[in-house]
Structure 1
C-alpha cells in the first residue's frame, strides 16, 4: 500500500484486520457527540486519487470516497457502489451493476462514466500517476501508460449510467481487492476540470462520494476534519458526525493531548510503549509494511554489491527493534512482509527467506566493506542517509549512523531528516544517496511488494535492475497468472534474487503501539491497502 508514510507504502500487508469494539453496534449517544479526535504523524500530501502515494492520503480517500467495493473487517469485500458483479467464464470480463441513488457531495449522480473517466485519467501518462502500474492486466493499460495507445482504448466502458464493463488482457486473481483500493475509485469529471491544477490540493477543491467529506484542509496546514456526508447512499449507517485530525510529529505532544482528552487516539514512542503496555487502551497495530534501504545506483559506490551488503550486515535488526522501536515491530525476513500470503500452510516470507539478505554479521560486514572500497579505489566513503523528521525516524537514523560509523572504517554518514512530503519528492526525483523507504502492501499478494523493483517501476528509485528478476515478475503476471503453483514459485524466486543481490536491504516489519480511548468503537484497521475504515465507527458512553 502505499508509501508508509514513515508511511506508507500504502499499503500495502496477511490481510488481517484489527477491529476495536463491535463493528456496526448502535450507540445510544446523540449524533452531536459522535466526534472522534484522531492523531496523524505526517502531513496530508494530496487528495487527488490519481496521484496519491502515501498512507495518509489513502486513508483520507478511503473514508471520503467509495469505489465498487469497500474493504471491511479482515479485508472482506463489502458492498460499495456495485450491487452485482458478473464474471465471464474465461475470467477476462467483469460486469458491475451500480446502485442507483448514489450521489457526490455536490448532489451530482455517481455513474459508470465517473469510473471510466477516473481510470482513463490515472492511466494517462500526462497525469504522472505512480500507481498506474496497478492497472496492468486491464486491456490496453500498459500500452496507454507507455504512450502507445490513447486512454480511450482502456478496457473499461459505461453501458448507460449504471452498468460498468471491465475487460482484461489476462486474469487478475486479486482484482476484487484492487477495486477496494482508492486508485480505482471514481472521479467527477466536471469537478476535476473545473478546478484544474488546484484539484485535490485543498478540501474545497474536491467532491466526495464516500461516508465523509473533508473540510478545513488548505493543502499545507496540519489539521482538518472529515464530516458526515449527508449525500452518501448509506448515511444511515454512518454514526460519526465528524473526525478531527491533527498532525503531531512528536508523540510527547500527542500523548499529552490524549491525556488531556483532546485526542482519542495517538501512536506512541518506544519509551511510551514500554511504560504503557498493558494499560487500558493500549493497542498494537500490526502492518504488512516493510522499511528498507534503497541505494541510489547512480552513485558508483552503491553499484558495488559488497558495499550494499556491508551496510545491510552492519545493522543489528534485533537490537534495533527492541531497543530503539520497542513498539512490536519485528526484523524483516525479506521485502515481502510476514503474514501477507501463504500456500499449503507455508508463509511466503519463509519460503523466500535468504538469511544473507537480512542478517547481522559484523565481521563479514567489515570484510565486504574493505573489499568494496578497494574495488572502488577508495579508502573512505561519505554519503547522506535520508529519512523523515518524526521522532521515530530520527531515532532510526541515529542508530544506523552509529552502527555504520563505529564499525566500518572510513565511513562518514550525514543524516538528513526532512518532512515526509520532502522525503517523498527527493526519493522520487533520485535526489538521495541512501534513503530509508517504507512500503505497505496494497492487497494481500506478494506482487504488491515485488512489482516495485522491476527495472521500469517508478518506485524503484534506486534504479536497481536484474533481467531475471524482471522475467520472473512478468511471468507471474502473464503466462503463469492462471497457475497458482507456478506463479508462487516465480515470486519466491524473484524475492531470492532481490535479497541475494541486495537490490534493497529490508530492515523491519512495522507495528505501531497506540493508545485508543475505550469509548472508540467499530474502527476497522486493515494491515493491507488503505488502513482505516471509519464508516461504522462510533463513540460509546457519552
Structure 2
C-alpha cells in the first residue's frame, strides 16, 4: 500500500496548504452576540421535511428539533415524556397505553390530537408511502400484513380515544419505547398532509410543527435558514433560545474556520485526517459516543459477479480494516469488527455489543486471491469490472473508496478493474434505493440503542434498507429468534445477535469497514445541548448561551 500512502501524504499537503486560501463571504450568517441566538451548521443539504419519507441524518436533525414525539431522549439517553403526559406497559409487554398532555397545539394554532399519531404510524406502514423506515412498524399488530398489502392501514394496532393512545403489539419489543421518540414516527395532521399533497415537507412553509422550534427560510434547496422558538410548544417556557441560525457547510475546513471566527458554535474535527490532527488537542475538543457504522453493500440482485459468494468473500478478505481506519480516516474511525458499531450498547455480560458479537473478519490476501479466481471461473464472464459509489460531500468516504480501489487492484491484479463514482448524497441514496449500483458505501446511524436497529434492516430482500437485496436464511432466523422467543431474555438475545453476525460474515452479504468517533469543537458557553449516539444526534431543545 506504499503507493496509496504516498498519495495520501501529497493530498494532505495540498489540503492543508490550500485551507488558508478558501473564501467564506458566500456564507451568509446572522451571527449574534445575544444570549438568545445560537449558530449551527449541517454537513449536507436537507433532503425533505416529510416526516414519513425522511431518512438522512440532516433532515432528521431539523425534524427532531422542530417536531416532537410522545417521548424525547434526555441527556442520559433515556426516553422521557414529551408530548405524552405518561405511559404504561402491560405485564406481558404487548400493550402500551399513552396519555397525552392536554391542550397540545400545532404551530398554526390548531389542536394536536391523539389521532395525529395514529395517522403518522399508518402512513409510515402504508406501502403507498414508500418509506424506507416502514419496517420500524413491524411487531405492531397487523403491520407486516399492511406492509405486504394484505390488510388495510386502518387495521394497524394503533388506536386513539380522547387523549389516550393504545399500541397493540404482536410480540414484546425491547426497543419500542425508543420508537415513541423516533423522528419518523412523530405526529402528522392528516388534513394538512392531504391539503399540501406533493408539496408536503418540500419547504419550511409546507410543514407545520409540534416541537420546540419552527423552521423558517428553507425553500427546498437553499443552504441558509433558521429555527425560531415555537410559542405553541407545550414546554415553550423552558426553551431558552429564541433563534438558531443554520447553514450548510460541506467543506470541513470552512466549518473550522467559521468556528474560529465565532460564526458557528460547533464544528466536527473528524471530517478529515488533517483537520483531526490539527485540532485534536484543542481544549474545546470533546469525544462522545456516536453509533455510526460504515459498510459496503453488494448488489447481489443485479450484478452476476457480486451474486457469487466466493467473490464477495474474496473482496472482504482483501480489505484490511485496521489499515483502512488508520490511513483513510487518519484515526477518526474504529476498524469494524462487524455490522453493529462500537459504542451502540453493552451486551448483558458488560462487553460492548460490537466486541461480544465479533464474528472474526480478517485480512488474508492469499486466501482472497484463491477464492477470487474460483469465483471468476464459476461466473465465467471474464474480467470483473465494478463500480464503488459514495457521497461527494464526505471526505473520508472518498478516501475510503480510493483505498479500496488500490487495495483490490493490487490484490487481484488484471482480474479486476474498480471505478469510483462520487455523487451528491441525494443521488447516492436514490441509487441505493433503486438498485442502481454495483457496490455502495453506506453510513448508517442506529435508530435507537439496541442491536435490532441494525439487524432488522436486512431480514428480507425487500426491506427498504437492504439495498443489495440479499437473502440469508440463517441470519433471518437468528434475528427473528431475538425478536420473538428471546425478546425478554437479554443474554439469549445477545447470543442470537452473535449468530446473526456470523451468518452475515459466512455469506459475505456486507463488508463492514469502520465505525465512527465523534470528536467536535463545542463553544464552551453553549449549555444544555443533548448529544445522542443514535437517532437525533443533536438536540437543541434546552440549549442556551450562558
The TM-score normalised by the length of structure 2 is 0.90
Q: What is residue 174 of structure 1 aligned with on the other side? A: 175
Secondary structure at the counterpart of residue 46 of structure 1? coil
Q: 1:125 aligns with which of 124, 127, 134?
A: 127
Partner Cα distance (2:34, 2:228) in 1: 12
- RMSD between aligned alpha carbons? 1.7
Partner Cα distance (2:81, 2:453) in 1: 23
Partner Cα distance (1:174, 1:516) in 2: 30
Deviation at 1:379, TM superposition (A): 4.8
Deviation at 1:184, TM superposition (A): 1.9
Correspondences of 1:275-290 after superposition (within 5 Å): 275-290=278-293
Gaps of at least 5 residues in structure 1 are: 1-29
Secondary structure at the counterpart of residue 508 of structure 1? strand
The C-alpha deviation readout for 1:470-516, integer Å capped at 9, x for no partner, is 22222222233233343332222111101121110100001233222
Alignment check: 8 A CA contact 1:71 1:180 kept: yes
Correspondences of 1:238-277 after superposition (within 5 Å): 238-268=239-269, 269-277=272-280
Q: What is residue 75 of structure 2 aligned with on the other side? A: 73
Q: 1:349 aligns with which of 347, 354, 378?
A: 354
Q: 1:522 aligns with which of 519, 525, 528?
A: 528
The C-alpha deviation readout for 1:423-480, integer Å capped at 9, x for no partner, is 0000000000011012111111111111111123121111111122222222222233
Partner Cα distance (2:100, 2:33) in 1: 30
Q: 1:156 aligns with which of 154, 158, 161?
A: 158
Q: 1:333 aligns with which of 317, 337, 343?
A: 337
The C-alpha deviation readout for 1:156-175, integer Å capped at 9, x for no partner, is 11111x11111111111221
Deviation at 1:253, TM superposition (A): 1.9
The C-alpha deviation readout for 1:121-161, integer Å capped at 9, x for no partner, is 1111111111111111111111111111111111111111x
Q: What is residue 25 of structure 1 aligned with on the other side? A: none
Q: Does 2:452 match 1:451?
A: no
Q: What is residue 383 of structure 2 aligned with on the other side? A: 380
Q: What is residue 421 of structure 1 aligned with on the other side? A: 426
Deviation at 1:32, TM superposition (A): 4.4
The C-alpha deviation readout for 1:163-209, integer Å capped at 9, x for no partner, is 11111111112211111111221111221112111101111000001
Alignment check: 8 A CA contact 2:294 2:514 kept: yes
Correspondences of 1:458-477 after superposition (within 5 Å): 458-477=464-483
Q: What is residue 5 of structure 2 aligned with on the other side? A: none
Q: What is residue 48 of structure 1 aligned with on the other side? A: 50
Q: 1:316 aligns with which of 320, 328, 334?
A: 320
Partner Cα distance (1:423, 1:367) in 2: 32
My pick for the range that moved more, 469-478 or 215-224, is 469-478
Alignment check: 8 A CA contact 2:290 2:343 kept: no
Go from structure 1 to structure 2 and tell me whether the alpha carbon gap of 1:262 and 1:339 turns closer, same or farther (over 3 Å shift): closer
Partner Cα distance (1:227, 1:312) in 2: 47
Partner Cα distance (2:496, 2:322) in 1: 30
Which protein has greater RCO, CA pairs closer than 8 Å, 6+ apart?
1
Alignment check: 8 A CA contact 2:392 2:398 kept: yes
Alignment length (residue pairs): 508
Alignment check: 8 A CA contact 1:382 1:413 kept: yes
Q: Does 2:537 match 1:531?
A: yes
Alignment check: 8 A CA contact 1:291 1:509 kept: yes
Alignment check: 8 A CA contact 2:68 2:82 kept: yes
Q: What is residue 504 of structure 2 aligned with on the other side? A: 498
Partner Cα distance (2:454, 2:520) in 1: 26
Partner Cα distance (1:522, 1:143) in 2: 43
Partner Cα distance (2:253, 2:448) in 1: 33
Secondary structure at the counterpart of residue 403 of structure 2? helix
Q: 1:401 aligns with which of 393, 399, 405?
A: 405
Q: Does 2:92 match 1:90?
A: yes
Q: What is residue 15 of structure 1 aligned with on the other side? A: none
Partner Cα distance (1:142, 1:440) in 2: 24
Secondary structure at the counterpart of residue 201 of structure 2? coil
Q: What is residue 19 of structure 2 aligned with on the other side? A: none
Partner Cα distance (1:91, 1:393) in 2: 41
Deviation at 1:308, TM superposition (A): 1.3
Partner Cα distance (1:222, 1:408) in 2: 43
Q: What is residue 11 of structure 1 aligned with on the other side? A: none
Alignment check: 8 A CA contact 1:523 1:532 kept: yes
Alignment check: 8 A CA contact 2:273 2:332 kept: no
The TM-score normalised by the length of structure 1 is 0.90
Partner Cα distance (2:366, 2:76) in 1: 43
Partner Cα distance (2:387, 2:54) in 1: 27
Partner Cα distance (2:501, 2:219) in 1: 41
